[in-house]
Structure 1
């Protein structure tokens, strides 16, 4: 009996040792190479790597040159390393934009474009007459944290007025921060059946209309979206004998249907098109294989301040060192390191996605037009903002394959503190793959005060920490590449993960690559 127990123990011990030997690697990530990659990608020379710009084109060519130098091959079906796609790169006011309030009096109130109101660059064009108007607090509808500003009010077919930001003001660390952007409030309003969303400052001190910035959208949000001066919100309440609720005490939603107001809106926007490119390289298996692992990161950032910038003024270069020069550098280093591995049983496709900042356009285009059939892709690893490692590493998608948790635990030889989230949805390119029922893992070192600001610079990257993260990811990749069985796809609920996404707001994953009116729904999350 004792011999049998000892034999079983020794077999188990040998299996563990073999697993650790297989997953460990003599090839390591170079901090110096990471520093060189990030230093160039976040330099002034690339002017913030805006998709469709000259700086963006330089970035694409730089990544292509590095893929060639590393020894990655082009995918035959693409005829090179580039996969091109078009998108709306610039929006400006056309003729005939107007907003009119009718309170049932002889004289109507007509608002002046760019003085009293301005359309959002992602607004739908329209000609809407005599809409009822409702107030819906901050326009937030979420499960985590729990809040529904639409509770008790019918928004269907109406114009919805909401306050900018959230219950905690514009605090970027608030649990409501993911719900601040007007685009996401527009998604909520649209799903509530509204015809238009009117965004107003939460207090008098911040009552300035946002500038219509260039380059933020591909197709409209399928709803009219405008920003309006606060004085007209006051007028709406005054006509009903009420005052505007104080945003500081709007801890709970305070929806309200205006009794006297009717609203007419005409919006006409001019949209210009540009082209960006995904950069794609192939690392073939060392043995014959028809299966592929995709490793990706987006290369683009905000240029000199498009929609999504948190800078108070337009024109400064947004360097995007962490977001996402760090992830792009990670893709390049993983390509180099994996190529040096002697045994690779599966192929690896490396993709540097364009226009992620404009709504995940590059990854959506890739999955809609895959150069290798998605049926042959067994998993996708995404790197986005991996350069500010401090206390823990966030890993999303841990519930998208049955094997993930064991593989991640086995690969974590450095005992990196992990914050694991099961959901395969998130505000980055892995969502495009997960909606196609491909298991994903997403690595992210967390938000910081330089997010989407010009101050996200290369000198603030923790290169030692990023190298540690990438060595960890490389071990995971090697386990996936050399495992006898492919990962088993699992469906996850749309929980809020480490990096909140547009899909957590309303339960759907929109496709912003559609160039017609509105957006197509890529996926609907379970229990949404």
Structure 2
């Protein structure tokens, strides 16, 4: 019924007045940003009501401009996991004492949902590394098979923000080590050096829906010390001894711990909004230019949302990020539809769930309404509403086509242009570059209000935004109507280096960052000339093991890479078309 009412409203508006103004006006820009960044949409979090209202508004604008709505009345729906929540039945029992979930213990969002009763081994920081001069072993002489590992959070160099142990210190890395060691589960506790307050962390969902095969929980020091009672040790003493001796330590703990974990992952539906303006040239109308921007934002903020205001729960309106970019897509759609002179087809897309890991643009390129090899260019607008006094505009992907930089300079009115050649970047254009499509990513840059509740309409530079849109219209007109399409060329790697930059080897693949594939780690792209490409790996392959060691997600994949040496020959188990295959890769 809601869709029927919405469709009827669109028809009524189209019939009873002017459809749109093809000119890029300040009033239209303000109207779009005002609505999309209004408090009533509550930050446009993916899967929530404000997200749907924003999508309906954009679809209405496309319809009113006379565009052809694709998919289901313009909506390309897809599912995603947005959060984790404590479900019924979580239990912790130490000998005969029962403890309370969220007060004494808390599962991790990536824990297996299961019940385990087992003995306990304290295993220090849960780290085992033997790399050049970096050596640490908390497992020397210990047998953790089918036992709980009780592990300190953090690492042996806690005061050093650039600790050499950082890549081994995350809860996911330690849980993978526990799984590799055959442990029944892993229990984390914070020592006083790690945290003076004996409090549990919140149930944090890290935007990756993959899970481990073992239970993973955290407990307070009070509970951990109850587990350690029979050893005459405490968490405080053990932590102090390890840091003083600067050496790993493990200890058998004469206690039985029973745990039941039940964490629910909240799945919801969101959508891309997609419409097309058909081309008018008999020769070029089978080629497509994509114009896009993401319309989702961070909702009310809070832990795990991506907000930089960590302790603030408030509406994150996202006026610049990215109501401004969506307004550009709407304005450009209206302008081209009004001019009716486009030779190539133009597909306009408002992407959902960009903030969740480019999920909307990945869905679009994987299930595109047209073949991606017919897409000749992609324009992406992300944060174009804060043109600064220096008149600077950042443009990414400028080396992804031979002609791009000349085009950008030739049509430049008077901007100070900052070029970045690479096709990979922190926005939706990356999904298109992975398909060998030239990309042009336009932004006026970040600012202190980025990903905070202060990103409001009052701070938008409307005149500057109009100027950026007018420049973009000229660029788009050229790309849509030029006789020869842009000439794609690779510009930088198709995968991003890890933040630590510590890998000694690479396969040369772009992983599925969001963990949508649950059987392993899906390969979203393969770079030519890299080891995976030489071994015959293809886009869509699912890596399930490296050298016989399980790979269930991107975290496990990265951990396996960290322990490989350049020049080695390894086996990579994959699923391809539902069939298991083994590739031999020379690193």
Please indicate, yes or no, whether the TM-score normalized by the shorter chain is above 0.5.
yes
3-state DSSP class of the match of 2:69?
coil
How far, CA to CA, are the matches of 2:281 and 2:467 in structure 1?
29
3-state DSSP class of the match of 2:326?
helix
TM-fit CA distance, 1:459: 0.8
How far, CA to CA, are the matches of 1:296 and 1:192 in structure 2?
41
3-state DSSP class of the match of 2:377?
strand
TM-fit CA distance, 1:258: 4.3
Match of 2:524 in 1: 522
How far, CA to CA, are the matches of 1:66 and 1:412 in structure 2?
28
Given the superposition, is the C-alpha separation of residues 256 and 448 from structure 1 closer, same or farther in structure 2, using an over 3 Å criterion? farther
How far, CA to CA, are the matches of 1:407 and 1:189 in structure 2?
50
| TM alignment of 1:27-38, pairs within 5 A | 29-38=24-33
Match of 1:8 in 2: none
3-state DSSP class of the match of 1:68?
helix
Match of 1:71 in 2: 66
Q: Where in structure 2 are there 5+ consecutive unaligned residues?
A: 1-21, 181-185, 226-232, 532-560, 562-587
3-state DSSP class of the match of 2:347?
strand
| TM alignment of 1:252-267, pairs within 5 A | 257-260=248-251, 267=261
TM-fit CA distance, 1:241: 4.4
Given the superposition, is the C-alpha separation of residues 45 and 265 from structure 1 closer, same or farther in structure 2, using an over 3 Å criterion? same
3-state DSSP class of the match of 2:378?
strand
- The one-character-per-residue Cα deviations of 1:460-514 (angstroms, maximum 9, x if unpaired) are 11222222222232232222212213332315226879xx999999974325262
- The one-character-per-residue Cα deviations of 1:85-120 (angstroms, maximum 9, x if unpaired) are 12224421135657899xxxxx89998642355444
3-state DSSP class of the match of 2:76?
strand
Match of 1:115 in 2: 103
Of 110-119 and 357-366, the range deviating more from structure 2 = 110-119
Match of 2:308 in 1: 310
TM-fit CA distance, 1:303: 1.7
Match of 2:374 in 1: 376
Residues 33 and 319, structure 2, Cα contact 8 Å, conserved in 1: yes
Residues 28 and 471, structure 1, Cα contact 8 Å, conserved in 2: no
Match of 1:327 in 2: 325
| TM alignment of 1:53-72, pairs within 5 A | 53-72=48-67
Given the superposition, is the C-alpha separation of residues 162 and 447 from structure 1 closer, same or farther in structure 2, using an over 3 Å criterion? farther
Match of 1:463 in 2: 462
Given the superposition, is the C-alpha separation of residues 185 and 259 from structure 1 closer, same or farther in structure 2, using an over 3 Å criterion? closer
3-state DSSP class of the match of 1:62?
helix
Given the superposition, is the C-alpha separation of residues 342 and 282 from structure 1 closer, same or farther in structure 2, using an over 3 Å criterion? closer
3-state DSSP class of the match of 1:83?
strand
Residues 323 and 451, structure 1, Cα contact 8 Å, conserved in 2: yes
- The one-character-per-residue Cα deviations of 1:293-350 (angstroms, maximum 9, x if unpaired) are 1111111112222522334456522211122111111211121223344532211111
Match of 1:481 in 2: 480
How far, CA to CA, are the matches of 1:456 and 1:389 in structure 2?
14
3-state DSSP class of the match of 2:407?
helix
3-state DSSP class of the match of 2:364?
helix
TM-fit CA distance, 1:64: 0.7
Residues 187 and 221, structure 1, Cα contact 8 Å, conserved in 2: no
Match of 2:566 in 1: none
Instruction: Provide the aligned C-alpha RMSD in A.
Output: 4.7
How far, CA to CA, are the matches of 2:400 and 2:516 in structure 1?
27
TM (norm. structure 2) is: 0.65
- The one-character-per-residue Cα deviations of 1:111-136 (angstroms, maximum 9, x if unpaired) are 86423554444555467876885649
Residues 421 and 491, structure 2, Cα contact 8 Å, conserved in 1: no
How far, CA to CA, are the matches of 2:519 and 2:150 in structure 1?
19
Match of 1:300 in 2: 296
What is the count of residue pairs matched by the alignment?
462
Given the superposition, is the C-alpha separation of residues 84 and 449 from structure 1 closer, same or farther in structure 2, using an over 3 Å criterion? same
Larger Rg: 2
Match of 1:5 in 2: none
- The one-character-per-residue Cα deviations of 1:332-376 (angstroms, maximum 9, x if unpaired) are 112122334453221111111112222222112112211111121
TM (norm. structure 1) is: 0.71
Residues 219 and 518, structure 1, Cα contact 8 Å, conserved in 2: no
Residues 153 and 194, structure 2, Cα contact 8 Å, conserved in 1: no
